[in-house]
Amino acid sequence: QQKVQQSPESLIVPEGAMTSLNCTFSDSASQYFAWYRQHSGKAPKALMSIFSNGEKEEGRFTIHLNKASLHFSLHIRDSQPSDSALYLCAVSMFVGDNSKLIWGLGTSLVVNP
Amino acid sequence: NSKVIQTPRYLVKGQGQKAKMRCIPEKGHPVVFWYQQNKNNEFKFLINFQNQEVLQQIDMTEKRFSAECPSNSPCSLEIQSSEAGDSALYLCASSPQTGGYEQYFGPGTRLTVL
């Protein structure tokens, strides 16, 4: 049974800081890795995803995957108060029929102005 | 922005009452998921559909929970006899891929069972 764990549980950073969020998974056969963001009272929304080892950058956000270490991360450069939200990581076992995302419990991020 | 519609946004029921919530997935998305998000932010997968067919569901949904996604009608999730532990945010998501790995969420229905 795939296990997905996030760290830290919560994080407070000042505006402008670099924020790093971590996600570990248990099954090396996992194929799809994603970060979602959920603002208070709102729907979760996909931020970034990656399929293969390496890095992908989109604006202030970078996702990094290391399958051998069973770890992927999200880095937020120049963190803004509007980035304050619950960040959820999710992992899928296969990209195809009957895949299912397994979710972490989230990291609550607060960016202080 | 996601175009998944969920109704109602808030639902209050007494223990033992039925609770029914609805979801209209994004147009053209063949896969629909239901999740329960509790007060600790834990996402629990409940059931998913591809078109009108159930793909996967957990044991919990086989007892008091029922769900369907009829053609040309909203999908629905119904709890036959609500319990206090069912109080949670129920999220519906739809996916454009048959694999369902990229998901678009609705705003959720917050169920409170008194």
Question: Per mean pLDDT, which of A1-10, A40-49, B7-16 is the most reliable?
Answer: B7-16
Partner residue facing B41 (CB), from A43, A101, A105:
A105
CB proximity A88 to B under 8 Å: yes
Tell me what percent of the residues of chain A surpass a pLDDT of 70: 96
The Cα–Cα gap between A49 and B77 comes to 29
Looking at residue B52, its pLDDT comes to 84
Output the 3-class SS for chain B. CCCCEEECCEEEECCCCCEEEEEECCCCCCEEEEEEECCCCCEEEEEEEECCEEEEECHHHHHCEEEECCCCCCEEEEECCCCHHHCEEEEEEEECCCCCCCCEECCCEEEEEC
pLDDT reading at B98 higher than 80: no
CB B96 within 8 A of CB A95: no
Under the banding of pLDDT at 50, 70 and 90, the label for residue A28 is confident
Q: Which residues contact A41 (CB under 8 A, 6 or more apart)?
A: none
Looking at residue A95, its pLDDT comes to 58
Place of tokens 């407070």: A12
The Cα–Cα gap between B109 and A52 comes to 35
Find chain B residues with C-beta within 8 A of A88's C-beta.
Answer: 41, 43
pLDDT tens digit sequence for A30-41? 989 999 999 988
pLDDT reading at A99 higher than 80: no
Looking at residue B97, its pLDDT comes to 79
Looking at residue A89, its pLDDT comes to 96
Candidates A94, A99, A107, A108: best to mutate against B (most CBs of B within 10 A) is A99
Average pLDDT estimate for B87-112: 90
Q: Which residue of A has its CA nearest to B6?
A: A43
Average pLDDT estimate for B15-30: 94
Q: Do A100 and B105 touch (CB under 8 A)?
A: no
Looking at residue B57, its pLDDT comes to 80
Looking at residue B62, its pLDDT comes to 62
Closest-CA distance of chain A to residue B86, Å: 18
Restricting to B residues 9-38, those with a Cβ less than 8 Å away from any Cβ of A are none
Q: Do A43 and B105 touch (CB under 8 A)?
A: yes
pLDDT tens digit sequence for A37-85? 999 888 899 999 999 999 999 999 999 999 999 999 999 999 999 999 9
Contacts 24+ apart (CB under 8 A), A41-50: A42/B107, A43/B2, A43/B4, A43/B91, A43/B105, A43/B106, A43/B107, A43/B108, A44/A88, A44/B91, A44/B105, A45/B2, A45/B105, A46/B102, A46/B103, A46/B104, A47/A74, A47/A87, A48/A74, A49/B101, A49/B102
pLDDT tens digit sequence for B33-91? 999 999 888 888 899 888 888 887 877 666 889 899 998 899 999 999 999 999 999 99
Q: Do B40 and A43 touch (CB under 8 A)?
A: no
HSE-CB for B87 with a 13 A CA cutoff? 11
